[in-house]
Each structure stands twice: as C-alpha cells, then as structure tokens.
Amino acid sequence: MRFTKSPWFAGISAALLLLLAAAATSATKRPRYGGTLRVELLASSASLDPREWKSGSLSAREDEKLAALVYDRLVTLDDYGRFQPALAIEWSHDAAAKYWQFKLRPGVRFSDGSLLASADVVAALQSLLPAGLQLTATDTAISIHSPHPIPDLLEQLASGRHFIFRALPDDTLLGTGPFYVAEISPAAPYEANPLAIKPARLKFRANEQSWAGRPFLDAIEVTLGEPPLRQLFDLQVGKADVVEVAPDLVRKARQDNLRVWSSAPNTLLALRFDEAQPASADDHLREALALSMDRDTMANVLLQKQAEPAPALLPDWLSGYAFLFESPMNLERAKEIRAALPANEAGGTEPLRLRVDAAGDLMKLLGERVAVNARQANLSVQVVTHSTTANGGAAPVSPANSSVGLHLFAWHYDSLSPRAELEVMVIQLHLEQAPETTQSLADPEQRYAEERRILEDRRVLPLVLLPEYVGIAAPVRNWMPARWGEWRLADVWIEKAESAPAAPNGGSSPDNSAAPHGKEVHP
C-alpha cells in the first residue's frame, strides 16, 4: 500500500524541524566555561598599581583595563546611569553630601583567600582620593567625611583609579576581582635580532573565589607593545581575539569584514600654549592660531571620519553642555590679526615651535596638519621631534628645543564625574586655577562658566575627540563594554566546538555580542 503524507503531517514535521533548529541554535548561544582570551595592546608597558597612574594619560587608560581584571570598586555604574552595588552593598549620605557611609559586602576574599576588611578599603581609597577627605573604618562599613559637599562621590568611586586593593609588605597588590595575575613575562630581545624587542606578556587566571562568581574564561593572555598593523593582522589570522584598532585602520578593518566596536569619544587631542616661548604668551597670536584651525578637515579627512571636532574640553556625553560651545574656522579674521602682529612673531626666522607630547604616527600627522593650517594664516609653526621613554611618555626635551611654545597632547577622560575631570585638567594642564575654588564646579552652570573662561583664555585649544576602537574575533561572545570604554572581560566567553558545556551552577546570560553597549561598526 502506498503511503501518502497528509498536509497536516507535513505541517507538523516542518514545525518540529524548526523547533529542533532553534534548539540547536540556542545551545550554541549558551555561555561556555573555559578557554583563553588573547588580547593585544599598543602600550609597551603596564602598571597594576593605581597609585602610580597619571590622570588623563593614555597609559592610564590601558592600565585601568588590566586593573579591572584584578580589582573591584565599591560601586559600579550600569549603562542606564544607575549605580550598582559591588564591594559596597548599601550607601547613604547626609543632606549636604559631606558625610557618606558605605556598608561593605560580607565574606569577600582576596585572591590569596584572605578576607577583605574595612581597613583595607580605607587604606586603598586614602591613597587615591583627593587630599582633605577623612576616611574611617568600622567592622562592616567605612565612612568618608569631606569639608565641602561631594554630591558626585559615587561617580568618582565608580570610575578611574578608585579600585580596592591590599598592599603587601613587598608592595605587591592583592585584589578581589574576577582574575589574578598568574604570570608576567618581561620584554626580551629576539634571538635573530638582539636589537629588536619581543613584546611583554601578562597572563591572568580565573579567580575561583570571586564574590561575583567565577568568570567564564579560564585565562586572559595580554601581549603588550604590538603595533597597530600587527594587531589587525593577528586578528585576521586568528592569533588574537581582542585588539586595539587605530582610527586610521578602522576603514581597512571594515573592508576586511572584521568586527569593530567603538566607544563614546573618550580621548581629546588638543593644543596647549607654553609661555617658555615668548610669542605664545600673546593673546592675539593665540586667537589667530585658534581661528586658523580646520577641525572638520582633521576629523573627516585626516582621521577618516573616525573622530569628531572638539568645541570644548569635556565631551557632551560627560558634561551635557558641550554643544553650546563653537569653534568655527575664520581664516580671513586670522589673517587680519596676524597682520597686526610683529612680523617676526611666529614668523620665518622665529617660528612657534610645536612639540607632539604623545607617541604615534597619527599624532605626528595631526601636528603637521596644525602647521599647515597655521601657514594658511601666515603663521609659522615648526614641529619639533623628540624621543620617547620606554613607557611611551615624552623624554626630556633637549636644550636646543627647550623653548617650545606649543604642545599637541592627548587627554583620556578617566572620571565619570565632570567636576572631578575638569578639576584634574585644570591642575595637570597648569591653567592657573586654585584647586580650592573648583569645588563650586559641582554646579553645572558654574562648571560651564569656568570651562568657557578657560576656552576664551585660549591657553588650550581643543581639536578633535577620538573614540576607542576595538577589534573582536568572531568566537568572542557577550562583548558588552560600557559606553565610556570599560571592557568588562569577566562577562566574555568564547564559543568553540571543543568547549565544555556550561556549568550547571554558572549564571546564564544571552549572547548580546551583536548589540554591545556603545557602538559596533559593521562593514
């Protein structure tokens, strides 16, 4: 007897096939434990001691990413602007926001198995918070007392270098984070060429005693000192899982169908005048140079639309008012101002010397673009070269170039508190503002007025804002960094056929790698 399949049975079969396919797809999306994440960074050295970091530096940006693997903070900030408990489970303050109390999470252990004590928290924060704050510890809590209101204390504690650690007698630091440092391999010369240096490597292993639960990854291997093109190549051929992508290589990465994520603009490239060269002290000269800067061309042509013009010191996502500032180019007005200046001031025989304070070809190109824009206004700007130290910082300038009047620098935004960030910029950039007067900057209107005063003084000329670009390999799942650049590698897992199934007691989270917080750039 011939069997005839009915339409009803055919419908049931198709439905079953769809369900089975969906189940198989879902199984591949479940988080998996195990594996090693391979990360490559441009920085040639790293410090896991937050007490050593210099605010605003690009090296501190890299150090913070690595430190987040080892240490925890009291509180964190989620992507909806809500503060979440970390080592502190409760907090409160008085009406004036001068006296704060934090109740600590019980049972938290350092990576060596010892218990976290409130005295450890006080000792760590005392070395990191601004001077003048009084910190005290009780059995289960700490308190912070300030002579002035600090309504933005949570923003400070949730960002930057404000990690909790314990310093051992040999100055080794212990953390309570999801990983611990298992191995450090210093840079060494290649056997074939002793003058060429192998990159340094760090290996982090999962902390089984982490209060937040064991991370999905078994280990993270970090290679330091890899140049941008090498990082991109390693990502393409499967030798790296997470790499930094230079702004001028983002277009190439797109063309190669690589997965690239970008943060909010978190690095400012700007010019700072130094009165060591007499011409740079002239207000009219600074105005002429400011009006000659073509920020749109810098962002859209030189940086291939991977940056945006910077009208202010703080980005709009941090301050909320940057859109109120303007930095228009007015070449004709710049020429008029230049014509009224002495002929040899920023002239051919006595040019305004520009030093690039951050390493990298991109910064050198931007310095040359500044010189080109200045030349269009009949101003002579000479880019001077200098060597860099082993950690990527600028070496001392030689006596021949000691009278440098202009600096091109990069500033990374460390803090989620706009008041704290602006205050540190004022101090670090020597903008002649007494630190005690900056406490009023907690008020947005006063902060806006102070930033406008600084910009009108033209001691600093913002040029462009750069996001951070990260290349991610296809097997990397749950890549959900914060919009401001925090990577959150403890939540990442690797999808591989040979991976072990997810642990039954491990937390399950959906695969949101295709829609991370921030912006993912697709080809």
DSSP string, 210-226: -TT---S-SEEEEE-S-
Residue 192 is predicted with a pLDDT of 61
Residue 185 is predicted with a pLDDT of 83
- Check the CA dihedral 80-83-84-86 and report its sign: positive
Residue 171 is predicted with a pLDDT of 84
For domain 72-171, is the CATH number 1.10.620.20?
A: no
The pLDDT profile of the chain, 523 residues, written as one tens digit per residue, is: 333 334 333 444 444 444 444 444 444 467 889 999 999 999 988 999 999 999 999 999 999 999 999 999 999 999 888 999 999 999 999 999 999 999 999 999 999 999 999 999 999 999 999 888 999 999 999 999 999 999 999 999 999 999 999 999 988 899 999 999 998 887 766 666 665 566 789 999 999 999 999 999 999 999 999 999 999 999 999 999 999 999 989 999 989 999 999 999 999 999 999 878 888 888 999 999 999 999 999 999 999 899 999 999 999 999 999 999 988 899 999 999 999 988 877 776 788 999 998 777 889 999 999 999 999 999 999 998 764 443 333 334 444 445 888 999 999 999 999 999 999 999 888 876 544 444 567 788 999 999 999 999 999 999 999 999 999 999 999 999 999 999 999 999 999 754 444 444 443 333 443 333 444 433 3
Strand bridging mode 197-198 / 188-189 = antiparallel
Segment holding 521, helix H or strand E: strand 519-521
Q: Which of 513, 472, 474, 475 is nearest to 491 (CA)?
A: 513
CATH fold of 267-466: Dipeptide-binding Protein; domain 3 (3.10.105)
Distance CA 474, CA 319 (A): 35
Report domain extents, the chain. 36-42+177-264+468-521, 72-171, 267-466
CATH, domain 36-42+177-264+468-521, list 3.30.70.360, 3.40.50.720, 3.40.630.40, 3.40.190.10: 3.40.190.10
- Hey, what are 9's tokens? 């049975």
Residue 26 is predicted with a pLDDT of 42
Residue 190 is predicted with a pLDDT of 62
